Amino acid sequence: MWKRGTEVKLIIATIKPFKLEEVRVALTDIGIRGMMVTEIKGFGSQSGHTEIYRGAEYEVNFVPKIKLELVVPADQADQVVETITNTARTGKIGDGKIFVLDVSQAVRVRTGETNQDAL
Ligand SMILES: Nc1ncnc2c1ncn2[C@@H]1O[C@H](COP(=O)(O)OP(=O)(O)OP(=O)(O)O)[C@@H](O)[C@H]1O
Ligand SMILES: [Mg+2]
């Protein structure tokens, strides 16, 4: 059965905190209507290293980042990735990472609408 809006993707992106407002505006400009924003700490290829303390290994040197989570129509995912990449890039280390995942279901709680209709 043909069903409208069956395909949505989850885009998880980490960016430098000072880039949040610029990225939000750029995403709004391409029609993105919702996202989750979380302050996180993490490390990538430079900043993380491990240390042994009382026999256990600890990771140190976490760097503050902003994590964005957006569920978008699958056919808009490339545009969203491109927009985040172009807007968040400074060209220096630590500009972040973007991951794209398949979503098996999205639901709007108020109405029970699903997938693209739930966005
Ligand atoms: N493999 C990973 N899995 C999950 N999150 C990651 C991973 N690598 C990096 N991150 C996230 O990205 C952040 C680091 O971003 P960063 O841009 O420094 O990555 P990088 O791989 O070191 O690239 P760069 O060379 O540009 O610094 C971390 O805080 C974490 O949020
Ligand atoms: Mg890094």
| Structural domain that includes position 27 | 8-118
Structural domain includes residue 83: yes
Structural domain includes residue 1: no
Residue 90 CA, ligand 2 centroid: distance in Å: 12
What pLDDT digit, counting tens, does each position of 77-89 carry?
Answer: 999 999 999 999 9
Phi/psi for 24 (5° steps) reads -60, -45
More confident residue, 46 or 76: 76
Using a pLDDT cut of 90, give the percent of the chain over it. 71
Structural domain includes residue 3: no
Give the residues surrounding ligand 1 with Cβ less than 6 Å away: 14, 40, 42-46, 63, 65, 93-97
Name the residue among 41, 38, 104, 96 with its Cα closest to residue 71. Answer: 104
Burial of 72 (0-12, 13-18, 19+ CB in 10 A): buried
Domain count, the chain: 1
What pLDDT digit, counting tens, does each position of 2-48 carry?
Answer: 455 459 999 999 999 999 999 999 999 999 989 999 999 988 887 66
Identify the CATH number of the domain in which residue 71 sits. Answer: 3.30.70.120
Structural domain includes residue 2: no
